[in-house]
Amino acid sequence: MISLAFWATVINYLDRQTLSVAAPVLREQFHMSNVDYSRVVFAFLLAYTIMNGVSGPLIDRLGTRLGYGLCVAWWSISAMLHAFSRGAVSLGVYRFLLGMGEAGNWPGAVKVVAEWFPERERALAAGLFNSGSAVGAILAPPIVAFLLLKWGWQSAFLFVGTAGLVWLAFWSWLYRTPAAPDGGASVPLVPVGVLLRSRFVWIFTVSKIFMDPVWYFYIFWFPEYLKHVRNFDLAAIGKFAWIPFMVAGFGNLSGGWLSGFLLKHGASVTIARKSAVTFFAILMTSAIPAVLVREAWLSIAFVSVAMLGYTGSLANMLIVPADVFPGNAVASVYGLASMGAGFGGMVFTLITGWVVDRYSYTPVFIGFGILPLVCATILWVFLGPLRPQRLA
């Protein structure tokens, strides 16, 4: 079951990374500045933000099998529509549609984890499915560069969209929900209004504002950085841009392992999750030297460490809702919290385009090296203990 969530996440990242790899070609063809490109990315994040608050409750209501499947079908068709882009406006519209569907991946996958795994195994299970983001990002540069150079940029969008529809066939055939301990008695859904009255949900949401935009920066802007600062051509981007994502894949596993190790040796859930997030947030400060070093290979190495730090942190952030809320509310809680991540992503994406156009990438990398420490501080100071919440 977790392998299905893993492959959905792989395809999810193939879809979103296709634009990042093809951006140098599309920007030239459609005459887009850094600000224009930031607005296209903003369109994706706007839809992603709005739909995070919708997709989680939708999946909780429809059930994992149907709700998750609908999200993948939507984003796959939207990815294929990118092939019909004729300029920045139409490209932005299709990115908006893609963001609507892709918002359902993490609430759906987290619900799979909550349904199938006990507390001690959840962080590792979350890391396993989330490693699909790294795998998808690893595969995207060589695959998209090959398709683009061989048959044009339209073929890349058609290919990744088709992959999602193939996954959907396997999902519909294989996925099932495990029987409830009480023999399958119906459990009423927790209303979204009740969740919005939870202080825990609000603090967790705010914490994600300062964590997830860092990842958005790497996936949407790193190929652009390699081209315009490190003077990489498209072939070189296809050859080297996957490396940080490969390293990030190990963060998913090590993040889950560290949390499980601390739990096994007597740490509370609160200490285990927050300590793991903090350790990997510290690794993310390597973004700062990444922009200061002269050698391109060393810059890629520092970015790789920073991205490993993100995925290690995320493996634990992903599972916090399942630690404190009942299974019938997990997708809703994570979807609502991800609205904070999307909001932060929108704001910081527009800031990135503005700063790069007027100054350089240096202040951007420094800022994204510091933001994760803000997230960790919020978790320690404001979130409180990770224990079952009373919902009324």
pLDDT surpassing 80 at residue 238: no
Per the listing, tokens 């995320």 go with 314
Give the model's confidence band at 361: pLDDT under 50 very low, under 70 low, under 90 confident, else very high: very high
Give the model's confidence band at 181: pLDDT under 50 very low, under 70 low, under 90 confident, else very high: very low
Structural domains of the chain, with CATH: 2-172+192-383 (1.20.1250.20)
Burial of 174 (0-12, 13-18, 19+ CB in 10 A): exposed
**Residue 14: per-residue pLDDT:** 87
Least confident of 278-282, 285-289, 316-320: 316-320
> Hey, what are 29's tokens?
């063809």
d(CA 211, CA 241) in angstroms, rounded, equals: 22
How many angstroms separate the Cα of 159 from the Cα of each of 71, 141, 198, 235?
18, 14, 42, 19
What type of residue sits at position 100?
M
Q: In whole angstroms, how large is the CA radius of gyration of the chain? A: 20
Kindly state the average pLDDT of the residues 289-317.
93
- pLDDT tens-place string over residues 249-262: 888 889 888 988 99
End-to-end Cα, the chain, rounded Å: 32
pLDDT surpassing 50 at residue 183: no
What residues contact 4, with CB distance under 8 A and at least 6 apart? 112, 167, 170, 171, 174, 175
Burial of 285 (0-12, 13-18, 19+ CB in 10 A): buried
pLDDT surpassing 50 at residue 170: yes
**Residue 353: per-residue pLDDT:** 85
pLDDT surpassing 90 at residue 341: no
Mean pLDDT of the chain: 87
- pLDDT tens-place string over residues 47-84: 988 888 788 888 888 888 898 999 999 999 999 999 99
∠ CA(105), CA(50), CA(133), 5° rounding?
25
Nearest to 389 by CA among 344, 303, 330, 307: 330
Structure-derived torsion over alpha carbons of residues 53, 92, 248, 157, reported in degrees to the nearest 10: 110
Kindly state the average pLDDT of the residues 143-164.
89
SS3 content of the chain, % helix, strand, coil (to 5): 85, 0, 15
SS (H, E, C) 281-327: HHHHHHHHHHHHCCCHHHHHHHHHHHHHHHHHHHHHHCCHHHHHCCH
Kindly state the average pLDDT of the residues 336-350.
82
d(CA 103, CA 72) in angstroms, rounded, equals: 10
- pLDDT tens-place string over residues 363-380: 999 999 999 999 999 999
Least confident of 97-106, 278-287, 319-328: 319-328
Burial of 389 (0-12, 13-18, 19+ CB in 10 A): buried
**Residue 185: per-residue pLDDT:** 42
**Residue 123: per-residue pLDDT:** 75
Is residue 91 a contact partner of residue 154, using CB atoms and an 8 Å limit?
Answer: no
∠ CA(61), CA(212), CA(53), 5° rounding?
25
State the DSSP string of 32-83. Answer: --HHHHHHHHHHHHHHHHHHHHHHHHHHHHH-HHHHHHHHHHHHHHHHHHGG
**Residue 184: per-residue pLDDT:** 41
Residue 101 backbone dihedrals phi, psi, to 5 degrees? -80, -40
pTM reported for the whole predicted model: 0.75
d(CA 149, CA 164) in angstroms, rounded, equals: 22
∠ CA(233), CA(237), CA(241), 5° rounding?
155
> Hey, what are 309's tokens?
């730090």
DSSP, collapsed to helix, strand or coil, labels residue 126 as: helix
How many Cα atoms sit within 13 Å of 284 on the Cβ side?
Answer: 34
Per the listing, tokens 């300590």 go with 275
**Residue 392: per-residue pLDDT:** 60
What type of residue sits at position 356?
V
pLDDT surpassing 70 at residue 187: no
**Residue 186: per-residue pLDDT:** 46
Most confident option among 160-174, 175-189, 342-356: 160-174
